[in-house]
Amino acid sequence: MSAATLYGLSAAALVGIGLFGLITHPDPLRKILAFNLLGGGVFLLFGVIARRGAAAGFGGDPVPQAIVITGIIVGFSATALAVALLQRLFEENNRTAPQAEGSMQGAPTVSSHDGDRGGGD
């Protein structure tokens, strides 16, 4: 098995794990992490493609490498936006339902708009 094949299979595995997590986990924070795993898989695949296209004295095809750099920036901004939204949502829920704060540790809260954040941890 060549290195490229190995990396290609790892990329496929990462994509699979990420997609599975994105679909099955109800907790938004885990969804965001799963999105990053999925993104990592896609970027690794671009890396494999770059390596496979190595020619003319280059260690790799520069186009996929440029794409990965842009992709990482986009993925980073997406993660930042998602985490900011999640944090805002958490603050907002705590502010509108302060009585739920005490019960946060033990029993699940009964706050009405908690549907998206249930389960997970």
Partner 1 sequence: MAAIDAATAGGYLLVLALVLPYAGVFLSLILGGRYAERIALVLMPACLGVAIAIAAKVLQSGKALVYFVGGWAPPLGVALRVDGLSAAMMMTAAVVMGATALFARANFHQQRELPEARAPLMFWTLFQGIWGALNAVFIGGDLFNLYVALELLTFSAVPMVCLDGRAETLAAALRYLLFALMGSLLYLLGVALIYGTYGTLDIVLLSGRVGAEPTALVAAALMTAGLLAKTALFPLHLWLPPAHAGAPPAASTVLSALVIKASFFIVLRLWFDIMPGAMNQAAAQVLAALGSVAILFGSVLALRQARLKLLIAYSTVAQIGYLFLMFPLAIGSAWAMTGSSGAFTGGVLQAISHACAKAAMFMGAGLMAETLGHDRIAGLGGIARMMPMTTISFGLAGLSLMGLPPSGGFTAKWLLLMAAIQSGQWWWALVVLAGGLLTGGYIFRVLAQTVAEANEPAVQHLPVARGREGIVLAVALCSVLLGLVPISSFRLLHVGRFDMLAGGLL
Residues 98-117, one symbol each (x = binds partner 1 by CB under 8 A, - = not), give ---------------x-xx-
Q: Three-state secondary structure along the chain?
A: CCHHHHHHHHHHHHHHHHHHHHHHCCCHHHHHHHHHHHHHHHHHHHHHHHHHCCCCCCCCCHHHHHHHHHHHHHHHHHHHHHHHHHHHHHHHHHHHCHHHHHHHCCCCCCCCCCHHHCCCC
Residue from 22, 33, 65, 100 touching partner 1 (CB under 8 A): that is 22
Asked if 14 interacts with partner 1 (CB under 8 A), we say no
67 counts as binding partner 1 under rule CB under 8 A: yes
Which residues in this chain contact partner 1 in the complex, by CB under 8 A?
A: 15, 18-19, 22, 28, 31-32, 35, 38-39, 41-42, 45-46, 48-49, 52-53, 63-64, 67, 70-71, 74, 77-78, 81-82, 85-86, 88-89, 92-93, 96, 113, 115-116
